[in-house]
Amino acid sequence: MSDARSGILQRLRAGGIQADQTPPDIPLRRFDWDPAECLRRFRARMEAAHGEVHQVGADWPQRMYELLHREGGALLYGPQGPLGPALEQGWPDRGAVRLIPYLEPVEACRDTLFRSVDAGFTSCRGAIAETGSLVLWPTPQEPRLLSLVPPIHCVLLDAAEICSTFHELLTRQAWQTGMPGNVLLISGPSKSADIEQTLAYGVHGPQRLVVLVRS
């Protein structure tokens, strides 16, 4: 196999590639939007992509409960995540939606995850106004599948964390200095237009994306 490697690299080097090798200068692409404008644009884009956006305060667990209680069922969350304790505290005790902690490796809870969970809850690391995208950095406390397998995904976003563009966000947060094993931009519920360009939501990922914006 290393034969293939050296063969390929040798051919590329022998190809005498000698164009201008200095990396192009890409100016930072951003917009001068104030926080209110960022939120307005984020919301418009997210709603255009069928995401739900709700403005909330300190009582966000209660608000989230109200948004979910009609369906009932079980909400999966990371108890050791940054919002885990606050969620537990604010969650109605004997309500229609049970909290289920994500604590075991997926191998041990695959069936629960795929079959008996109705919603997943995560924090996020910011959002992008231009495209209406949430930025998720899954961690051991908030695993990767929380935002994918349950039919509903709920996210709490701090309004101050909305950047104008993706470029601005990854530069401001200095992503190149260290990233988790999986990073996601999520811009709406899962969808497909593979049948006659007709949009259908909830293909393999969540059917509903609920964004709670805390200001």
Partner 1 sequence: MAAEWRTRVADALANQRTRANIGRALDGLVAKRRAAFPDRDELERLRDQGQAIRTQALACLPDLLAALERNCTANGIRVHWAETCDQANRRISDILHRHEARMLIKGKSMVSEELGLNAFLEAQGIEVVETDLGELIVQLAEERPFHILAPAIHKDRRQIAELFKARFPELPYSEDAEALTATARRLLREKFRGAVAGLTGVNFAVAETGTLALVENEGNGRMCTTVPKVHIAVTGIEKVIARLDQLPTLLTLLTRSATGQPITTYVNLVGAPRRTGELDGPQEVHLILLDNGRSRICADPELRTTLRCIRCGACLNHCPVYVRLGGHAYGTVYPGPIGGILEPQLQGLAAAGSLVDASSLCGACDEICPVRIPIPRLLNRLRAEGVGAGSDSQVPGRGSRRDPRQTAIWRLWAWLHADPGRYRLLSSLLSRTGTLIPRLIRPWTKSRRPPRLAPKGLHRLAREAGFTDD
CB 71 within 8 Å of CB 152? yes
Q: What are the φ/ψ torsions at residue 134 (nearest 5 degrees)?
A: -95, 145
If binding is defined by CB under 8 A, does position 22 make contact with partner 1?
Answer: yes
Is residue 44 a contact point for partner 1 (CB under 8 A)? no
Residue 94 to residue 104: CA distance in whole angstroms: 24
The residue from 76, 186, 210, 212 that contacts partner 1 (CB under 8 A) is 186
Which of 1/58 has CB closer to partner 1?
Answer: 1
> Three-class SS of residue 191?
strand
Kindly state the smallest distance separating residue 79's Cβ from partner 1, in Å.
12
**Considering the complex, what minimum distance in angstroms separates the CB of residue 197 from partner 1?**
6
Tokens 């401001």 belong to residue: 172
Contacts of 111 (CB under 8 A, 6+ apart): none
The single residue among 165, 210, 212, 213 that binds partner 1, judged by CB under 8 A, is: 165
Cα–Cα separations (whole angstroms), residue 127 to 5, 14, 122, 157, 193: 40, 45, 14, 8, 25
CB of 70 to partner 1, least distance (A): 21
Is the Cβ–Cβ distance between 147 and 210 less than 8 Å? no
Contact between 191 and partner 1 per CB under 8 A = yes
Question: In the complex, what is the shortest distance from the CB of residue 35 to partner 1, in angstroms, rounded to a whole number?
Answer: 20
Q: Is 32 in the site for partner 1 (CB under 8 A)?
A: no
**Could you say which of 73, 79, 90, 202 contacts partner 1 (CB under 8 A)?**
202
10 Å Cβ neighbour count for 44?
A: 13
Is 142 or 161 the residue whose CB approaches partner 1 more closely?
142
Tell me which amino acid residue 99 is.
L
* Cα gap 15→189, rounded to integer Å: 46
**For partner 1, the closer CB: 9 or 96:** 9
Contact code string over 71-110 relative to partner 1, x by CB under 8 A: -------------------------------xxxxx---x
Measured CA to CA, the distance from residue 153 to residue 151 in angstroms comes to: 7
Q: Establish if 125 lies at the interface with partner 1 (CB under 8 A).
A: no
Among 81, 84, 143, 150, binds partner 1 (CB under 8 A): 143
User: Beta partners for 54?
Assistant: 212
